[in-house]
Amino acid sequence: MFADAKAFSGFSVDDLQVAAKFYGQSLGLRTSLANGLLVLHLAGGRDTLVYPKGKALVPATFSIFNFPVGDIEAAVDVLARRVVAF
């Protein structure tokens, strides 16, 4: 479902390993870690970089990561079964 979505964004996280687990296992995206960056390999060759935010910096209070889906209720059901909190 999400592996073929035309997602778009770029954002920072405070823990690349936790982010890799969430995006790779919970959402089922193809990911890789290289040169201190997490890469989300998205549909259409639209890789998205996820970069670490320094410990001294305050994390953003929100982020935007968009996944167009054909059926929002079905997508929510799938994610809920994968223990994603809403």
Contact between 3 and 60 under an 8 Å Cβ cutoff? The reply is no
- Domain 11-81 indexed as CATH 3.10.180.10: yes
Is the pTM higher than 0.75? The answer reads no
pLDDT digits (tens, 9 = 90+) for 17-46: 999 999 999 999 999 998 899 999 988 887
Instruction: Report d(CA 10, CA 12) in Å as an integer.
Output: 7
pLDDT digits (tens, 9 = 90+) for 57-80: 676 677 777 788 899 999 999 999
Determine the pLDDT at residue 13. Answer: 87
